[in-house]
Chain A
Amino acid sequence: EADIYQTPRYLVIGTGKKITLECSQTMGHDKMYWYQQDPGMELHLIHYSYGVNSTEKGDLSSESTVSRIRTEHFPLTLESARPSHTSQYLCASSETDRDGNTIYFGEGSWLTVV
């Protein structure tokens, strides 16, 4: 059972609002990730982190930003939401050094921007 948690699970907000999706893990993992997934489509990496104060952009361009002030916490922020941001956002974490480590996913945050 993975100890990685996302809140909120579901969110409907208006265009132009600022939102933060929370992600926390209690496994002490250094690596954390944010993926975006549209229904029936593959996951796309939008942000990742190797550890505290480390953040990098992923393969899919995103207007969101992330921070990693504590090992266990990796929030994602949209300063001004738009309908094109409507999607599912999945947070994940893994251990750092060994090849083939399991990546644990949170339950996801479904965002709808109206």
Chain B
Amino acid sequence: KNQVEQSPQSLIILEGKNCTLQCNYTVSPFSNLRWYKQDTGRGPVSLTIMTFSENTKSNGRYTATLDADTKQSSLHITASQLSDSASYICVVSDRGSTLGRLYFGRGTQLTVWP
């Protein structure tokens, strides 16, 4: 069964600290993996997209890694800011259909305290 599991479910850190969010997936055949940031009451916003051949991608203070062999990804946030408080969603796409079906994790709810 194709699944995307994220951990931790929620995380509280102090402003300025770093943190790492995890994503494990069983989606096959794998096409790509995306990380999205979703502020409360808003739509998700894309942070990174990685295909099979990519093992790291950065977007400012966000760095995503991908290990396609172990089917794991992580999102590292450096020098966190209050505005980083949001849900971070891991999304994996398969190659099994024309649509490129998307499998969503439930997200990690990050809270940054001053």
Contacts and interface: CB of A to CB of B under 8 A. Distances in A.
Interface majority SS on A: helix, strand, loop or mixed? Answer: loop
Given A90-B43, A106-B43, A107-B42, A41 B32 contact: no
Contact of B46 (A6, A48, A104, A106): A104
B68 interface: no
Interface in A83-105: 90, 92, 99-100, 102-105
A108 B104 contact: no
B102 interface: yes
Contact of A105 (B31, B45, B51): B45
Interface majority SS on B: helix, strand, loop or mixed? Answer: strand
A76 interface: no
B16 interface: no
Interface in A16-51: 40-45, 48
Contacts of A74: none
Contacts of A99: 31-32, 51, 100
Interface string B1-14: 00010000000000
Q: How large is the interface on B (under 10, 10 to 19, 20 to 34, 35 or more residues)?
A: 20 to 34
A103 B46 contact: yes
B31 A100 contact: yes
B100 A42 contact: no
A102 B51 contact: no
A43 B104 contact: yes
Contact of B41 (A2, A41, A108): A108
Contacts of B46: 102-104
Nearest to B46: A102
Contacts of B32: 99-100
8 contacts: A40-B106, A42-B4, A48-B99, A90-B44, A100-B51, A103-B46, A108-B42, A108-B43
Given A6-B43, A100-B31, A107-B43, 8 more contacts: A43-B44, A48-B99, A90-B43, A90-B44, A99-B51, A100-B51, A105-B43, A105-B44
